[in-house]
Structures are given as structure tokens and as C-alpha cells.
Amino acid sequence: MALAIFDLDETLIADDCSTLWSQEMVKLGWADGASYLPREQELMRQYAKGDLSMEEYMAYTLTPLVGRTPEEVEHVIEPFVEDVIEPIIYSDAMRCVARHRENGDRILVISASAHFLVSAIAARLNIEEVLAIDIAEQHGHYSGHTQGVLTYREGKVQRLEQWLHEQGETLEGAYFYSDSRNDLPLLQRVDNPHVVNPDPVLRQHAENAGWPILSWK
């Protein structure tokens, strides 16, 4: 039995859940689309280039949630996942998860998106264990701030190592599936790195390293 780790955005699903959630918040009237979405897209372009400050992205995109309760957000997350996310889940990803499950592997999703999003999507995929960006609360309401180490770039490695220690697990024989150059620090730590529909930088690295390159649909 080994650990099978999956990135979420553009790996298990064919888009970025944070961007889709930003669009959903505009539809809900929680954010002004004319000003909010262009800035979100500019930050995502920085992500694609590997230049994003995740702290800056989260500070900006959490603004519409300030003062809202987790229950209020949870109420709209479920239909969002069903209507928006479920149609873009890669069938090949589901088959891969199923194979690992049949092999008795422990399955973990690790994502640089908000925990309330990632956990809801993972639950729809029948995956219980998640590491994602934790969102701070104050007096039972979202404060607009994150807490702890952000699961982004080297932060994914740091959070995973903490989780492994807590769980009494190791990375021996572990798999990691990702599409992004931002996940190179973790891909380089596992015994079985796999790249999925990779960006150009990650594809070149995978070719040089002889890593499997998967085309999921």
C-alpha cells in the first residue's frame, strides 16, 4: 500500500476551482464582476507563469467572504460543485483514483485552493483526505485571512511532511499527479511522479527526467 497524492485544479478537473468560484460569487452578488474578475484573472496569469504570490491572491479573492459564516458558504458550495464542477471532472482521473483505491493505496488531495472548496469537491470524488489552504474565522465568520502554511509550491511539501508525521506515514512508493510547474518541489520528492496535461515548463522537465506524461480527458 502506498500514498497516492493528487493535485486538484487542471489535474482532477478541467479548470481551476478558485476561478470558477470567483465567477460564482459574482453570480451570487457577493462580488462586482466588472472590477473583481479582471484582477482575479491577472493574478491567475501570474500563477500560470509561476510568479504568483499566493498570499496576495488569497487576500484578494477572500474579500467577498468577509463577515459570512461557514454555514452560509457551505449552503451555496454544494450546488456549485454539482452544477459547475461535476461536469468537468476528468473521467481518466476517476479511473486512476479507482485503480489506486483497488490497490489499497491511501488517497490524498493536496491543493492550493481554499479548504472549503477542495474538501467539497473531493467529497464528490469520494476522497476524504485533503490538504488545502485553511481559511481563518473570527467569531464564527470568515475574516478574509488564511491561517497556517499555504499549500502552494514549497508549502505543499511542508504541509505534507507535517501530515505524514501526524499520520505515521512515509513517502515510500508514493505517487503524485499534477499539471503545474508550481508543483515541481513535491513532484521531485515522490518515488512515482506523474504529470497530467502539463504546462510547457513541467512538460520539458518531465521529458528530461523521464517522468510519465498523461493526457487526461
CA distance 163 to 154: 14
Of 7, 105, 179, 183, the catalytic one is 7
Cβ-contact 183, 199 below 8 angstroms: no
CA distance 215 to 188: 20
Cβ-contact 196, 188 below 8 angstroms: no
CA distance 51 to 64: 24
Beta strands 192-196; 213-214: pairing state: parallel
Give residues with Cβ within 8 angstroms of 88, minimum separation 6: 13, 14, 15
DSSP assigned state of 44: H
Q: Closest Cα to residue 6, out of 103, 121, 85?
A: 121
Q: Active site includes 9?
A: yes
To the nearest 10°, report the CA torsion of 203, 216, 48, 163.
-90
Q: Active site includes 32?
A: no
DSSP assigned state of 142: E
CA distance 102 to 111: 23
For the annotated catalytic residues, the residue numbers are 7, 9
